[in-house]
Amino acid sequence: MFMKKVKAEVISSKMIEKDIYDLCLNYEGAKDAKPGQFVGVFPESDAHLLMRPISICSFDDKTLRLVYRVVGFGTDEFSKLKEGDSIEILGNLGNGFDVDLCKGKTVVLMGGGIGIPPMLGLAKTLKDKGITDDVHAFLGYRDKNTFLDKEFEEVCNVHLASDNGEIGFHGNVVDALKSSGIKADVIMACGPMPMLKGIKYYAEGENIDAYISLEERMACGVGACLGCVVKTTKEDHHSHVNNARICTDGPVFDARDVDI
């Protein structure tokens, strides 16, 4: 398993939608990456030593692609990176999605906002490894300013939803799935907490296996600070508490196992 702090060279960096950036890096850990894992990206400034967790959007043997929204100091600094610059990366972090759970099944991938990028790597892996060809991606955006949806179309069936109804289904991705009539065997998802709660509730009601990636705030990223704990429905047999660390036990959890 690849896990260390290394310098990665910027191959390209571009804005693909308002405040959404697409960063490609030459990164030695790319060949060991799994969809749903993330990396810690370090801003250069000494005043901000904490890594910023960003999900792996896609990867091949040598390159890693990250797609992120500019929301504050760190992501604003990353948005100024140019071809040939280098940046420190800690990775690969977290467990990722277990693609073997999808073998021969009807799989529904759900992404909301900046939770959409990791679902693209997952959709590509399901296709490239021939795990299943019955994959539907439900992608939820704020409005008509979509991103990455054309790339999903190359590898699976795509269903769009938007908060304001400007594009696709008017409403959230759970309601879009319900109205589509598609019966999922497995759901895999990443997005804001209200969306993940809705998926957990829906999947439990319909008895569907659901795996959700929790992208809450983090500090160390390696299990040391307990800054990212989530309540679990089962007791941890080491610590005897109902807690899990999102950075090391997750970020992907069986939706039944977390109390969100």
Ligand X SMILES: Cc1cc2nc3c(=O)[nH]c(=O)nc-3n(C[C@H](O)[C@H](O)[C@H](O)COP(=O)(O)OP(=O)(O)OC[C@H]3O[C@@H](n4cnc5c(N)ncnc54)[C@H](O)[C@@H]3O)c2cc1C
Site string for ligand FES, 237-256 (x = CB under 6 A): --------x-x---------
Please pick, from the candidates 8, 228, 255, 258, the single residue that binds ligand FES as defined by CB under 6 A. Answer: 228
For 8, phi and psi rounded to 5 degrees? -120, 140
Q: Kindly list the distances between the CA atom of residue 52 and the CA atoms of 150, 178, 208, 236, in Å, as whole numbers in the listed order.
A: 27, 35, 32, 27
Which of 3, 15, 16, 226 binds ligand FES (CB under 6 A)? It is: 226
Give the Cα separation of 37 and 43 in Å (integer).
20
Least separation in angstroms between residue 38's CB and ligand FES is: 11
Give the C-alpha separation, 216 to 192, whole Å: 9
Q: What is the DSSP code (8-state) at residue 238? A: T
Return the range that interacts with ligand X (CB under 6 A); candidates 73-81, 121-129, 138-146, 159-167: 73-81
Q: Return the bridge partners of 189, or none.
A: 110, 212
> Does 165 engage in binding with ligand FES (CB under 6 A)?
no
Choosing from 25, 34, 55, 97, the residue that interacts with ligand X (CB under 6 A) is: 55
Instruction: Find the angle CA(137)-CA(94)-CA(153) to the nearest 5 degrees.
Output: 20
Q: Which option in ligand FES, ligand X, none does residue 219 bind, with CB closer than 5 to 8 A by kind?
A: ligand FES
Please identify which residue in 91, 111, 112, 117 interacts with ligand X, judged by CB under 6 A. 117
Q: Looking at 23, 25, 30, 54, which residue binds ligand X (CB under 6 A)? A: 54
